[in-house]
Amino acid sequence: MRTNSRNFYLIPYVLWIALFVVTPLLLVLYYSFFDIEGHFTLENYRKFFTPVYLKMTLSSFWYAFLITLFSLLIAYPTAYLLTKTKHKQLWLLLIILPSWINLLLKAYAFLGIFGTYGAANSFLEALGIGGRQILFTDFSFIFVSVYIFLPFMILPIFNSLDELNPTLLDASNDLGGSSWVTFKRVIFPLTLDGVKAGCQIVFIPALSLFMLTRLIAGNRVITLGTAIEQHFLVTQDWGMGSTIAVFLIIAMVFIMVLTGRRKRGIL
Amino acid sequence: MKKLIQALAAVLIVSFALLYIVSGLNSSQGYTSGNTLTIFNWGDYIDADLVKKFEQETGIKVIYETFDSNEAMMTKIEQGGTAYDIAVPSEYAIEKMKEEDLLLPVDHSKIPNLKYIDQRFMDLPFDPGNEYSIPYFWGTVGILYNTDILGDKKITSWNDLWDPELKNQILLIDGAREVMGMGLNSLHYSLNDKNKDHLTEAKEKLDGLTPNIKAIVGDEIRMLMENDEAGIGVVWSGTAQELMWEKDNLEYVVPEEGSNLWFDNMVIPKTAKNPEAAHQFMNFILDPENAAQNTEYVGYSTPNKEALKYMDEETTTDERFYPDEELTARLEVYENLGKKMLAYYNELYLEFKMHKK
């Protein structure tokens, strides 16, 4: 009876997973085997291995890597400083706040800021560096993406730093470890799980960014996400779109495994 | 177990109560099924005052939704989630929707104002006898340029865009057919060319344009041109007209090699719930005064001959927006290329977009 009722409680959960996770994945896989005229084919998979799509995959990974790297470089010190502040919850809230605003709205705001006559350029002029093209460059694309993903990188790192047992730092200190050694040998290894989680949360969506590539990078950056969008909405070649999606999913699973958490037995 | 049932029951009760409140609200505002008209149109493509006027005159409530590409619109109509009574596709989309049996025939006897439409825009190849569609607006694709930025430089043709002096000055609209068409036209091929060699040639020619291209964008092009962000934008005529009304430093030209001539027509999708009201609305829009008001708001060219009389003469005699027959003869209407060819166009377009500077 007990197991019965427990299974009963599982129903909504199983239904949800089946309807909104498993079915869509299967549909994507199913569509990927059909060409534009609805014939069964493996052609889409062959096409994926042509230079066009391989190049696109490479550039997606490259940009996602850059975005993750810069997010990490900014997020780690920020998270570290946050744990040292007095009102950390308040500061944390302020950092997370922008992520409540719709991504598109933020992108449009940057269109104005980075424009030829925008705030960023007037600032550069005032500094005497002179105006330059910021919008529609690799720089603006990575900058805006990092800005958007930053809170997602800070949160897990902050949590793992916050959970860090301070006695361990004292111990390291007492045993003569300099602050750099303490960081390298104690703090960083113990917060590695947070870093991994952060990288995962940033890298995976960064792989399939698509609106920003048009708004901020002016289609000078083409990622797999852009190609999927085009295939579904314009070409209506759902087969090819799905095939790209299949490869994206495979890549994501791969990354999840790579950055997967291994539970370690420290405290 | 008991708790779960209670919870489920509570959820169901709340849901039904909400549904009841919604339908109550709808009917109190006049949104009952027989009395609404659902319009599916391009963004910013009608004077909202006209919708209000129509509601007042007829007592019909209008639900207005927008789309940003023919393809997205067709996908939504095919799926049938919302029953649209009127949609406004472009010519090649109408052809496709006809093929896929998505449209209802239009009853001309219910639209007496149809007589005001210029015969030039009736009975076109994509819909012989206007059996399924009624002209709404038409226009061209051309080059909008900023005289402040370009100085004395005159732009008259597509090939002018390849000028090395225009480095990083061009904004393109993100459309495979528009951009590929530009490449084809610059080589004096047809916009509807299906010869793969010609298409590859056009793509390679476009690759050579990349140093001059600043960005390939969507509707933001309007805002970017308005802010003097770039010297040149390849845009639809209506976008150009609207901007030129606001800014004196912009000029529009239909390139001499030829360009695209397009039509947006009103149709009644098969899923329509209120075709009666749809006819009423079409007739309302074709009324010369209403058409004139709408045109002055939207900026595209009206096919309504009578409406021109109510409009500013400066606009209606402007060759760039109301080209004469000689210029129109050089323009081409998009044909439905078929899925396979369209996919090929898109593939080349994607390769072009990936071409690095």
A233, B217: Cβ pair inside 8 Å? Answer: no
For residue A47, being part of any structural domain is answered with yes
- Examine the pLDDT at B152 and tell me if it is beyond 80: yes
For residue B227, being part of any structural domain is answered with yes
**What is the total count of domains within chain B?**
2
To the question of whether residue B92 is assigned a binding role by annotation, the answer is: yes
Please state the rounded mean pLDDT for residues B322-347: 86
Q: Are B163 and B300 members of one domain?
A: no
Question: Which pLDDT does position B33 carry in this prediction?
Answer: 58
User: For position A57, which CATH number holds?
Assistant: 1.10.3720.10
Domain residues for B32?
10-138+264-316
* CA distance linking residue A148 with residue A157, whole number of Å: 16
For A21-44, the pLDDT digits (tens) are 999 999 999 999 998 888 899 999
Written as six digits, the tokens of B198 are: 């010609």
For residue B14, being part of any structural domain is answered with yes
Residue B351 with chain A: CB contacts under 8 Å: 52
B69, A5: Cβ pair inside 8 Å? Answer: no
Q: Are B250 and B273 members of one domain?
A: no
B351, A111: Cβ pair inside 8 Å? Answer: no
- Examine the pLDDT at B162 and tell me if it is beyond 90: yes
Q: Identify the contact set of chain A against chain B, taking CB-CB distances under 8 A.
A: 5, 8-9, 36-37, 52, 55-56, 59, 111, 115-117, 133, 135-136, 214-215, 217-220, 222, 227, 230-231, 233-237, 240
Q: Are B328 and B210 members of one domain?
A: yes
Enter the pTM of the model: 0.82
Q: Which of B23-32, B47-56, B217-226 has the lowest mean pLDDT?
A: B23-32
Q: Are B97 and B190 members of one domain?
A: no
The residues near B17 (Cβ < 8 Å, ≥ 6 apart) are none
Q: How far is A180 from chain B (nearest CA, A)?
A: 43
- Examine the pLDDT at B163 and tell me if it is beyond 60: yes
Q: Which of B72, B215, B347 sits opposite A218 (nearest CB)?
A: B215
Q: What is the CA radius of gyration of chain A?
A: 23
Q: Are B201 and B338 members of one domain?
A: yes
> A–B: how many Cβ contacts below 8 A?
79
Q: With residue A257 as reference, give the H or E element that holds it.
A: helix A238-258
Domain residues for A143?
33-259
Q: Which of B216, B217, B350 sits opposite A227 (nearest CB)?
A: B350
Q: How far is B75 from chain A (nearest CA, A)?
A: 8
For A8-20, the pLDDT digits (tens) are 888 889 999 999 9
* Amino acid residing at B297: Y
Written as six digits, the tokens of B302 are: 């009206």
Residue A240 with chain B: CB contacts under 8 Å: 343
Positive or negative torsion for Cα B27, B29, B34, B40: negative
Q: Are B222 and B188 members of one domain?
A: yes
Question: Which pLDDT does position B27 carry in this prediction?
Answer: 65
Q: Are B253 and B113 members of one domain?
A: no
- Examine the pLDDT at B218 and tell me if it is beyond 80: yes
The residues near B266 (Cβ < 8 Å, ≥ 6 apart) are B86, B87, B88, B133, B134, B135, B136, B282, B285
High-pLDDT (> 90) share of chain A, %: 48
CA neighbor of B129 nearest in space, from B102, B94, B96, B100: B94
Pairing of strands B103-104, B261-269: antiparallel
Q: Which of B69, B343, B350 sits opposite A233 (nearest CB)?
A: B69
* Phi-psi domain of B195 (left: phi exceeds 0; alpha: psi -120 through 50; beta: other): beta
**What is the total count of domains within chain A?**
1
Q: Are B103 and B152 members of one domain?
A: no
Written as six digits, the tokens of A207 are: 């792989």
Task: Give the CA count within 13 Å in the CB-facing half-sphere of A19.
Answer: 6
Please state the rounded mean pLDDT for residues B43-48: 90
B1, A215: Cβ pair inside 8 Å? Answer: no
Residue pair A79/A161 in contact by the 8 Å Cβ criterion: yes
For B103-136, the pLDDT digits (tens) are 999 999 999 999 999 988 899 889 999 999 999 9
Written as six digits, the tokens of B352 are: 């072009």
Q: Are B19 and B93 members of one domain?
A: yes
For residue A71, being part of any structural domain is answered with yes
Residue pair B252/B244 in contact by the 8 Å Cβ criterion: yes
Q: Are B227 and B187 members of one domain?
A: yes
Q: With residue B344 as reference, give the H or E element that holds it.
A: helix B339-354
Written as six digits, the tokens of B237 are: 């005529």
Q: Which residues of B129-168 are buried (b: 16+ CB within 10 A; e: fewer)?
A: ebebbbbbbbbbbbbbbbeebbeeeebebbebbbeeebee
* CA distance linking residue A19 with residue B231, whole number of Å: 50
Residue pair A213/A206 in contact by the 8 Å Cβ criterion: no
Question: Which pLDDT does position A267 carry in this prediction?
Answer: 40
A220, B215: Cβ pair inside 8 Å? Answer: yes
B215, A52: Cβ pair inside 8 Å? Answer: no
Q: Are B254 and B167 members of one domain?
A: yes
For residue A265, being part of any structural domain is answered with no
How much is the ipTM here? 0.84
User: For position B243, which CATH number holds?
Assistant: 3.40.190.10
For residue B50, being part of any structural domain is answered with yes
